[in-house]
Structure 1
Amino acid sequence: MPRLDVREIPPVNRHPTIHDAFAELDPGEELTIVNDHEPKPLFYEFQAEVEAFDADGYSVERVADEKFVATFPKRAD
């Protein structure tokens, strides 16, 4: 499962980088991102704009004060 730590990426470049990585996934795969905040805006952006995003399979876990691990699944169909 691809994993992308975006904490060192400048904020302005994070969403485009994540979108590019997600686009490279095969159907049924998941992209795991590590972020310094809960990626709620990104979730809503994906939900609204990315047809292949499986919002029902999305998950996020806070593992430290500034470390959130989120899984963005791509639809299998």
Structure 2
Amino acid sequence: MNTYAATINATEYPPHLKHKVIFETFDQLQPQESMLLINDHDPKPLRFQFLSTHPDGFNWEYIEQGPTTFQVKISKL
């Protein structure tokens, strides 16, 4: 069973706050800690943003890939 330092259900936030909350949470993780992101669509654009801002600092692993729920384990390296 996976243990996460934080869980974010992105559907609970207004669109203009989602990425802000996700990145603030990620920044608070210690190295090797993970957070779980839950969303109602594939968060591919967020992954591209992580690649841009933290190119070698994260790992992205799908736990569930739709069709209605997407769960991603995002780990800080």
TM bin (shorter chain): 0.7 to 0.9
What is the CA distance between 1:53 and its match in structure 2?
Answer: 2.9
Q: In structure 1, the residue corresponding to 2:74 is in which secondary structure?
A: strand
Q: In structure 2, the residue corresponding to 1:20 is in which secondary structure?
A: helix
CA–CA distance in structure 2, aligned partners of residues 37 and 46 of structure 1 = 17
| Aligned residue number for residue 59 of structure 1 | 61
Cα gap change, 1:69 to 1:16, in 2 (>3 Å): same
| Structure 2: tracts of 5 or more residues without a match | none
CA–CA distance in structure 1, aligned partners of residues 8 and 74 of structure 2 = 11
CA–CA distance in structure 1, aligned partners of residues 39 and 21 of structure 2 = 13
| Aligned residue number for residue 47 of structure 2 | 43
> What one-letter code is carried by the residue in structure 1 that aligns with 2:26?
F
The share of aligned pairs that are identical, in percent, is 28
2:53 maps to 1:10: no
Q: In structure 2, the residue corresponding to 1:58 is in which secondary structure?
A: strand
When the two structures are aligned, how many residues end up with a matched partner?
72
Deviations for 1:17-43, whole angstroms, at most 9, x for unmatched residues?
A: 000000110000011100111010000
CA–CA distance in structure 1, aligned partners of residues 57 and 8 of structure 2 = 17
CA contact (8 A) 1:53 1:72 kept: no
Give the TM-score taking structure 1 as reference length: 0.83
Give the TM-score taking structure 2 as reference length: 0.83
CA–CA distance in structure 2, aligned partners of residues 36 and 58 of structure 1 = 17
Q: What value does the CA root-mean-square deviation take over the aligned residues?
A: 1.5
